[in-house]
Chain A
Amino acid sequence: MSTLKTLNGNQTIAEAVRQVDPDVMAAYPITPSTAIVETIAKFKADGLISGEFVCPESEHSAMSVCIGAASAGGRVMTATASQGLALMWEMLYIAAGLRLPIVAGIANRALSAPINIHGDHSDTMGARDAGWIQIYSENCQEAYDNFIQAFRIAEHLDVRTPVLVGLDGFIISHSMEVVQVEGDEKIKDFVGEYQSVYPLLDTSRKITVGPLDFTDYYFEHKRNQMAGIENAPGVIQQVGKEYGEKFGRYYGFFEEYRMEDAETCIVVMSSAAGTCKDAIDELRNEGKKIGLLKPRIFRPFPAKEIALALKGTRAVAVLDRSACPGAFGAPLFTEIRNALYDYDPRPKVVNYVYGLGGRDIKVEHFKDVAEKLDKIAETGKVEEIYGYLNLRE
Chain B
Amino acid sequence: MKKETWKELTIGTINLEAGNSVKNLTGTWRSGHKPEFIEEHCIQCFFCWLYCPHFAILVEDGEVKGINYDYCTGCGMCAEECPSKEKSIVMVKEEVKLAEGGTE
A residues apposed to B, CB below 8 Å: 97-100, 160, 197-198, 205-211, 213-217, 219-221, 223-225, 227-228
Contact = CB atoms under 8 A, between A and B. Distances in A.
Chain B: interface secondary structure?
loop
A198 B13 contact: no
Interface of B: 3-7, 9-16, 18-19, 103-104
A220 B4 CA distance: 8
A98 B10 contact: no
A230 B14 CA distance: 19
Contacts of A210: 13
Nearest to A97: B13
Contact of B104 (A98, A209, A216, A223): A216
A160 B15 contact: no
Nearest to A209: B14
17 contacts: A97-B12, A99-B12, A100-B12, A198-B10, A198-B14, A207-B14, A209-B12, A211-B15, A216-B3, A216-B104, A220-B4, A220-B5, A220-B9, A221-B6, A224-B9, A224-B11, A225-B11
Nearest to A100: B12
Nearest to A206: B18
A97 B10 CA distance: 12
Contacts of A213: 13
Contacts of A99: 11-12
Contacts of B11: 99, 160, 197, 224-225, 228
A136 B3 CA distance: 40
Contacts of B14: 198, 207-209
Nearest to A158: B11
B12 A214 contact: no
Nearest to B10: A198
B3 A98 contact: no
A208 B15 contact: yes
A223 B6 contact: yes
B12 A215 contact: no
Nearest to B11: A99
Nearest to B104: A216
B6 A98 contact: no
